[in-house]
Structure 1
Amino acid sequence: LVWVLLLVFYLLLFGEIFEMYNLKVASDRYLTLRGTFITVVFVTLFYVFTPILSPELPQNRIQIGYFVITLITSIIINRFIYIQFIFSPRFLKNILIIADTKQVEKIISINQNKGTNRIIAYVSNKTLESPNLLVYEAFETVNLEQTVKDNYINEIIVSSSSLQFITNTLNTQLIELFEKGMMIRSIDSYIEEVTNRISESQLKQDFYNYFSFSKSHQNNLYLAFRRGFDIFFSLIGIIFFLLLIPFVLIGNVIGNRGKLFYFQKRVGKKGKLFNILKFRTMISNAEENGVEWSKKGDKRITTFGRVLRKTRLDEVPQFLNVLKGEMSLIGPRPERPEFVRMLEAEIPFYAIRHVIKPGLTGWAQVMHPYASTVEDQHKKLMYDLYYIKERNILLDFKIVIKTISTILFFRGT
């Protein structure tokens, strides 16, 4: 039984790291096969060489080959059957939207490439301008029960801002459907579940009606665990950092002439400034024209610096910041004070992200590419606030797994 549990644990762990369970990957047979093979290789290595808990190595080594073939075959069959079922129309969730056309278009855009949801119909003040195959019903004349029945609707999502369209008659129909067991929820709730970030419409004057801190924010046991977790892994990270220095030094001599490290002011918890430590990845006079964001294909990044960024190795010295308590392993990435001042002026509630320690990695980092514009920063803020609202041990573990995937698949900047 212990052997089976260990095998299942490794399959789940490495399957998540190598994105075998990612729906976007599941729709691509090549990526599914790639994920399966890499997962099986790592599962086999860890399973075979785990002391005590795993079975003894077989005397006939060909049995390991049989084990690998059995794993690959069974996983591939499992994944292809799963793909066939999950993308089958009978297993899709049919959705009806009740909102103005602007919000309907936003939900349609967000819902693209979301394998398990299918928008079938909408109730609005007018038809959409863009061509589509959706069923349209007017607010004034809609018979919700009939529309739900005719279109096999499983869920209704309702605008929480365009309340002028929710007439007493429409509201009565919603209540009747709710009493019959129909799933009904707000658009904000739907966006949060589908995108794993908070809805922008929640950030307004009465934001406290929608946004609150996670219960973990005041959970002393969780906070103590997180600090212990930070200390333990930062010590391991510092050892790795010391071992890495000679190799980075050689790389610097070849393709990154100049200082090995650089310090930079960043904004931490409650707006407190601290010096962040990184391996230098840009030319020495990178900011002779003033402070600016790094962008894709930035010519200021050196040849070796690009390697450090792709592998995230330039961030390794920040384990020292984590050990000092200025940062945590997981949290919103710390920004420079010059950018923070600008973003606070441009984006309402940007300062909320400073209520917790900044992190070496974070939910925004693993869910959104590098931000080089105010618009990108706005999107990343939605992820940061989602983390602050929902953070817990399971979400932290998910971020760690996704960070490993990001590093292994070279998704750094």
Structure 2
Amino acid sequence: MLLKKWEDLPSYMKCEEVRPYYDSLKNKKVSLILKRAMDLVGGIILLIILAIPMAIIAVLIKLDSEGPVFYRQERITTYGKRFKIHKFRTMVSNADKIGSTVTVGNDSRITKIGAKLRGCRLDELPQVLDLISGNMSFVGTRPEAIKYVEKYKPEYMATLLLPAGITSEASIRYKDEAELLDAAADVDSVYVEEVLPGKMNYNLESIYNFSFWGEISTMLRTVYAVLGRDYE
């Protein structure tokens, strides 16, 4: 995986706010190649290992509530490319049409099996398919819905220089994001004005200081966080 030439980037990314992040990444070709290799090889191995557990989860979802097994909302990844993310459905069918795109802790749309899957982040297992396709990476900015990307500040566009990720430093720091939004009267507004800027600080720092070994560290810390350990 190598960066596009600066002149080949989408026009909205070719701004002075993005340039420092681009210049930092272009000098890390080896790490970028290793990152893609890990995503592809690791994704294939995980797909083989997780095939049976994922099949069992799919059956449980169908038994628990009506609707499809997967949630396929359109998200944004590298250079503004749109793709439909693979996630196990954890809410009632058509949940995005009866509420906010952002989920709060006591969201009534979450199904019984969905709550358990979310608690262990098992709903994200199907994203192994997005790893293999190259739409996502093990580590990177979590893929946002289109309506939030449309509200990005110019500097935030730097996060689109690399693929969207399954986990990130921001994901670890904001692992209780749903609970943070519980008391919000306008969830979308609070997310865009308060939560998103905080997450972007971590995302941008990760882009600027990107390294292959740094991403390995983030993956290990994610496991630590999923196990319920506090992160300092």
TM-score range, shorter chain: 0.7 to 0.9
Distance change (3 Å), C-alpha of 1:290 and 1:250:
closer
Q: Is the 8 A contact 1:321 1:327 kept in 2?
A: yes
The counterpart of 2:156, out of the listed 326, 350, 353, is 350
Contact 1:268–1:326 (CA under 8 A) maintained in structure 2 = yes
Q: Deviations over 1:241-291 (max 9, x none)?
A: 311133213422453443211211111111110111111000013133365
Q: Does 1:307 align with 2:116?
A: yes
- Give 1:214 deviation, angstroms: 7.0
Query: Is the aligned partner of 1:324 residue 2:133?
Result: yes
Structure 2 match to 1:339: 148
Q: What is the identity percentage for the equivalent residue pairs of Structure 1 and Structure 2?
A: 29
- The Cα offsets for residues 226-255 of structure 1, whole Å up to 9 and x where unpaired, read as 111111110122123311133213422453
Q: Scaled by the length of structure 1, what TM-score is found? A: 0.45
**One-letter amino acid of the structure 1 residue matched with residue 155 of structure 2:** F
Report the AA paired with residue 322 of structure 1.
Answer: L
What is the identity, as a one-letter code, of the residue corresponding to 1:406? Answer: A
- Equivalents in 2 of 1:295, 1:263: separation in Å? 19
Change (3 A) 1:240 1:252: same
Q: 1:223 aligns with which of 19, 29, 32?
A: 32
Matched, 1:292 2:98: no
Write the distance in 1 (CA, Å) between the matches of 2:126 and 2:18.
37
Asked if 1:396 is matched to 2:215, the reply is yes
2:204 is aligned to 385
Specify the alignment match of 1:266 in structure 2: 75
Q: Can you give the 5+ residue segments of structure 1 that lack an aligned partner in the other structure?
A: 1-204
Residue 333 of structure 1 aligns to a residue in which SS? Answer: coil
Report the CA distance shift for 1:206/1:220 in structure 2 as closer, same or farther (over 3 A). Answer: closer
The alignment of Structure 1 onto Structure 2 pairs a total of residues equal to: 203
Matches within 5 A, 1:9-408: 211-213=20-22, 215-289=24-98, 291-341=100-150, 343-344=151-152, 347-369=153-175, 370=177, 373-374=191-192, 375-408=194-227
1:12-55 residue CA offsets vs partner (Å, 9 max, x unmatched): xxxxxxxxxxxxxxxxxxxxxxxxxxxxxxxxxxxxxxxxxxxx
* Distance verdict in 2 for CA 1:206–1:274, change over 3 Å: closer
Query: What is the alpha-carbon distance in structure 2 between the residues aligned to residue 310 and residue 219 of structure 1?
Result: 35
Shift of 1:384: 0.3
| Cα distance change, pair 207–249 in 1 and its aligned pair in 2 (3 A) | closer
> Counterpart of 1:317 in 2: which secondary structure?
helix
The one of the two structures with greater contact order (alpha-carbon pairs below 8 A, sep at least 6) is: 2
CA deviation after TM superposition for structure 1 residue 216, in Å: 4.6
Distance in 1, matches of 2:158 and 2:64, equals 40
Q: Secondary structure at the match of 1:409?
A: coil
Distance, in Å, in 2 between the alignment partners of 1:238 and 1:410 is 27
Q: Name the amino acid aligned to 2:98.
A: N
| Residues 162-213 of structure 1: CA deviation (Å, up to 9, x unaligned) | xxxxxxxxxxxxxxxxxxxxxxxxxxxxxxxxxxxxxxxxxxx98589x544
CA contact (8 A) 1:217 1:223 kept: no
Structure 2: segments with no counterpart, 5+ residues: 1-14, 182-190
Cα displacement (A) at 1:362: 1.2
- Which structure has the greater CA radius of gyration? 1
TM-score (normalised: structure 2) = 0.78
Distance 1:243 1:295 in 2: 30
Query: Residues of 2 paired with 1:214 and 1:364: CA distance?
Result: 22
Distance 1:254 1:301, change over 3 A: same
* CA–CA distance in structure 1, aligned partners of residues 220 and 93 of structure 2: 34
Letter in 1 for 2:129: L
Residues 282, 271 of structure 1: alpha-carbon distance in 2 compared, 3 angstrom cutoff: same
**In 2, Cα distance between the equivalents of 1:259 and 1:208?**
39
Check whether the contact 1:241–1:317 (CA below 8 A) recurs between aligned residues.
no
The whole-number CA distance in structure 1 between the counterparts of 2:86 and 2:229 is 22
